[in-house]
A and B are shown apart, each in its own frame.
Chain A
Amino acid sequence: EPEVTQTPSHQVTQMGQEVILRCVPISNHLYFYWYRQILGQKVEFLVSFYNNEISEKSEIFDDQFSVERPDGSNFTLKIRSTKLEDSAMYFCASSELGEGFFGQGTRLTVV
């Protein structure tokens, strides 16, 4: 069964460093998303991406964040100058007809 894969599963970074979270969406999907879940809290939308551009973003997705689809398979989330409060589980998702399939997540720990 096709699935969304994310790497790494766990990333530890020092405050102020840049991180890139990687995702490989399901191959025939057209819509891509990033979400985050701070420990014990609800899953929050960050950004959606369609046709090689951002289609919607939340207030969380400020200038610190960027997304890119550098080739036909990968979808990345870059967080510049990480802060302690960026520590969370980051989920990538993709969809074709509305049903969102999520990856297993990358747990980002900022120390």
Chain B
Amino acid sequence: GEDVEQSLFLSVREGDSSVINCTYTDSSSTYLYWYKQEPGAGLQLLTYIFSNMDMKQDQRLTVLLNKKDKHLSLRIADTQTGDSAIYFCAEISAGGYQKVTFGTGTKLQVIP
């Protein structure tokens, strides 16, 4: 089955850039997502990228996709304390708009 892996923890200083990495196994992934979850809260869709794209930029967020290596990254520029949260990478496969498979989540800690 599909598998999505992430590192568990990342700590950065306020103002620095954060890079959260994700690897996935499903070569038929059509959409890849980044969700943010603050403590006790729901899942907020941050951004997504189609599998035929290499990069997508949205304000402070840059998503890079290396489809050959099945590697996805999320770069947050000028990281703020409000960015502290768990970030989930997720993918959806071809063949219909079915389930989203989530990664294990990366806890981002921003140090003031």
A interface residues, Cβ below 8 angstroms from B: 30-31, 33, 35, 42-45, 48, 50, 55-56, 58, 91, 93, 95, 97-105
Contacts and interface: CB of A to CB of B under 8 A. Distances in A.
A40 to B, nearest CB: 10
Contacts, number: 63
Interface of B: 30-31, 33, 35, 41-45, 48, 88, 90, 92, 96-105
A104 B33 contact: no
Contact of B99 (A58, A97, A102, A103): A58
A101 B45 contact: yes
A31 to B, nearest CB: 5
Contact of A99 (B33, B43, B101): B33
A99 B45 contact: yes
B43 A42 contact: no
Contacts of A100: 33, 45, 90, 92, 100
Given A102-B42, A102-B43, A104-B42, A95 B97 contact: yes
Nearest to B103: A42
A62 B30 CA distance: 28
A105 B88 contact: no
B41 A56 contact: no
Given A99-B45, A102-B35, A105-B42, A42 B98 contact: no
A66 B73 CA distance: 36
A102 B30 CA distance: 19
A8 to B, nearest CB: 14
A93 B100 contact: yes
Contacts of A45: 99-102
Residue among A98, A103, A104 facing the most chain B CB atoms (10 A cut-off): A98
Contacts of A44: 102
A98 B88 CA distance: 16
A91 B100 contact: no
Contacts of A93: 43, 100
